[in-house]
Structure 1
Amino acid sequence: MTRDSLYRAIWRWHFYAGLIVLPVLALMAVTGALYLYKPEVEAMLYPVNAPAHAGQAQLPPSHIVSIVERNTGAKAIQLLRPAADTENWRVTVRTAQGDSDVNFVDTFNGRILGRMRNGGAMQVIRDLHSLALTGPVGNRLVEVVAGWAILLCITGLYLRWPRRGQPALAIRGRPGGRLFWRDLHGSLGFASAAVLLFLAVTGMPWTDMWGGGLRAIIAANGAGRPAMKVNPWAPQVKAALPWTLREGGAAAGMPGDIGVDAVAGIAARRGLASGYMLFLPASPGAPYLVSAITTRANDARAITIDAASGAVVQDIDWRMFGPGAKAVEWGVATHMGQQYGEANRLLMLAGCLCLLLLCLTAPLLWWKRGLSTPPPASPGALRVVAGLMLALGLLFPLTGLSMIAALCGEWLAGRMRRAWFPFRPGRTMGGG
């Protein structure tokens, strides 16, 4: 097996990986970039910012909740108290039709300033990004795509690695020429590979199969968070919790309700006076849950309060997380551009834009090559690459199954090609 043959084999599978996942990666790049700016987009679309009320006192939470319930005729399930007084509070209700409506409320006079249905525009963006619109199938497809994206990054780095006087970062040739587009694609990929690899790996915890398995492994090795002494939460509650706090279950408490004002007071005495989501009991005996609105991973906080007695059942924060839980929470917060402020967000935005450009330049480069596939490689080189793919598949089983299917398809195509064109001359390595 020669180096040129290995290069052709890796080039071939880099090409196939792109054909398989580029449309989905382009969708993820666009939606991911938009979701990085969720606060700004929501502030443009909904009455997020509060009117000025100099010298006035805010209404207690119970008044806010009762006003919303009276005006909507629906039961409140969640109260969001922002960290800044310059933002309106949000009360979420569950309608008779099963919809989730967020009401933006002026906390100084109780006026409902606007509504957001089922998470609004940004929930649509999030569902597109995670392919949640297609249900469990989409969630598993995300896992497959992320695994192929990792293969794209690894093979792309190899193909663009400096050799024989070819620089990793260079734009040569005239605009519109094949060399120009090959260099543009290769330089973008090489420069952004680390960020794209990070996004692919840290996106995996959101998947049901791989992410659920990771949670189980972390918990089994004592590297997770303390077990939550709460009832299993509804999906909208779980989505608001830190990633490692989304499991748990315990028997319900005694009937009774101390009220939302008392719960807010308990949270305030424990240092959580604002910047939290307060989940009301879903049924008699269920507890209250107060969860901090997290920006950085180490902001994670969840306080469970018995509705009948007001006793704090559990108060979990970042310091109680094990190393596995901390690593995952850090990865999630950094993936969302939150952990290190604006610089973090801009870096993730750059990764999304580079990914989109790679998805656009790849088919154009293919067209420049006359829509031809990369030349076949020697059987030995193909076996080496197949082994590397299967090793990656062991880490990401769903991706591995798709890779086995792709390898079988390549083997079958090769048998058919040799049967139909036994004397077809091979092509020399050309790159791109």
Structure 2
Amino acid sequence: MGGDMRGGAFYRAMWRWHFYAGLIVLPVLALMAVTGALYLYKAEVEALFYPVRLTQPVGGASLPASRIVAAAEARAGAAATQLVRPASNGESWRVVTPGAEGRTTTYFVDPRDARVLGQMRDGGVMETVKSLHSLTMTGPVGNRLVEVVAGWAIILCVTGLYLRWPRRGQPALALRGTAKGRLFWRDLHGTLGFASALVILFLAITGMPWTDVWGGGLRAVIAANKAGRPPMKVNPWSHAAKHALPWTLREQGAPMGHGLHDVGVDAVARIAARRGLAGGYQLFLPASPGAPYLVSAITVRADDARAIAVDAATGAVVQDMDWRQFGKGAKAVEWGIATHQGQQYGEGNRLLMLAGCLCLLLLCLTAPVLWWKRRRDGRLAAPPPASAAARRTVAALMVGLGALFPLTGLSMLAALGGEWLAGRLSRA
């Protein structure tokens, strides 16, 4: 078939899929690119808005954890649920207290004198950025929409690579013509896409584990094949504690506690230090009488994952989970998430993910310009239709790819049905 040549039937069919994929997800992809780039710099942004860093010279020992918690509780008038001890001695500690309707307040406390330096409501500005990135503020519908968009982003990458693959007279990387012409914008869009496709593809695939349907299915598959986390007894953590655990442990329960006596947060901090968690951790207080304490490492690299459960009554360590206990499936997912967040390989990793986000945003901006430049007779239109055989072949390939991502596959079938119906109406 003449599909390898520009203008061939197979090429036109791929072009139409690329065009419609972009048309469907462009606004959401642009939002995810902006919020994803911001979230890569979460620590820096929070330091601009909140008293994260201590302004006075750092020196002297920190107060006991109980004093820091008590200072925040006195300000809040409520019992704390979480203590965050940073890895750096130059940062304030954080104490989280609950409010009405599931809301929270985080207090920044100087660990040397227990002064409350400031506060942050509901996770602050970066929690808003995260909610926008994942669309969780819209509830389950938003989470499923993100899954659909991520699947279509994969299709955009696959079709875009095919369309820009070097052919006679069409280099993959080029910038020809002037900004007034269509060739310039086609080259700009194509070059950006070809250069960044693998990074964007990686971001789309590694973002999938956060979704409810595909991500939940992946957790189930990993567990069924005994490639995930170590087995745990059942007794739910608090909602916040679940989200502090490594991804592959979040659907598990916690070990049961014994009795109503409480050894206290200072004893738990000492136990964590003896176990190698002296700094850089989140300490969750028992969610209910008899429930255990949870100490979870603040992870940078995937292999930093660590979670310790301490019996509140006896101080016994009833669960100690770390990277070595993870199966191959869990390790692969945790590595993907850490790399997606720009943490696994240091600053170079973060800059590469930032470049992917910026290129994705530029692709979202150049696509409508290119569409405008290629209008004919003042009218905007889709790429020309291909032959029926080429359409069927490409549709089968795309639906096969969509089968890997069920919600995206369903949206593909809906798109194919809409195109068929539009064709029938136009002929009628």
1:332 aligns with 2:337: yes
Query: How far apart are the structure 1 equivalents of 2:52 and 2:420?
Result: 56
Alignment match of 1:303 (pick from 304, 308, 317): 308
1:368 partnered with 2:373: yes
Counterpart of 2:408?
A: 399
Distance 1:65 1:157 in 2: 54
Tell whether the 8 Å contact from 1:258 to 1:310 is kept in structure 2 after alignment: yes
Q: 1:351 aligns with which of 356, 377, 386?
A: 356
Tell me how many residue pairs correspond in the alignment.
419
Structure 2 residue matching 1:223: 3-state secondary structure: coil
Paired residue type of 2:194: F
**Alignment match, 1:429:** none
- Root-mean-square deviation (CA), in Å? 1.2
Which residue in 2 is equivalent to 1:272? 277
Amino acid at match of 1:146: A
Q: Give distance in 2, aligned partners of 1:131 and 1:97.
A: 20
Alignment of 1:30-41 (within 5 A): 30-41=34-45
Report sequence identity in percent: 72
Cα deviation, residue 234, structure 1: 2.4
Deviations 1:105-127 (A, max 9, x none): 01111110000000000000000
Q: Tell me whether 1:24 sits opposite 2:33 in the alignment.
A: no
Query: For residue 319 of structure 2, what is the amino acid of its counterpart?
Result: Q
Question: Unaligned stretches of 5+ in structure 2?
Answer: none
1:360-415, Cα deviation, whole Å (9 max, x unpaired) = 00001001111221001001000011111111121000000000000111112222
Could you tell me which residue of structure 2 aligns to residue 60 of structure 1? 64
Q: Mapping of 1:27-176 within 5 angstroms?
A: 27-52=31-56, 55-176=59-180
> 2:409 and 2:338 mapped to 1: Cα distance?
27
**8 A contact 1:228–1:247 mirrored in 2:** no
Match of 1:115, SS state, is strand
Counterpart among 347, 354, 369 of residue 342 in structure 1: 347
**Distance in 1 between the 2:41 and 2:22 partners?**
28
Which TM-score applies when normalising by structure 1?
Answer: 0.95
* In structure 1, distance between residues paired with 2:242 and 2:357: 27
- Residue 352 (structure 1) shift: 0.2
CA offsets, 1:203-246, max 9 Å, x none?
A: 00000110011001001001001023363222222222211110
1:97 and 1:103 mapped to 2: Cα distance? Answer: 19
| Unmatched tracts of structure 1, length 5 or more | 421-432
Q: Distance in 2 between matches of 1:313 and 1:207?
A: 31
Measure the CA separation in 2 of the matches of 1:176 and 1:73. Answer: 63
CA separation in 2, counterparts of 1:114 and 1:219? 42
Q: Give the partner amino acid of 2:223.
A: A
Cα deviations across residues 117-155 of structure 1 (Å, max 9, x unaligned)? 000000000000000111000000000000000000000
TM-score under structure 2 length normalisation: 0.96
Structure 1 distance, partners of 2:411, 2:205, is 18
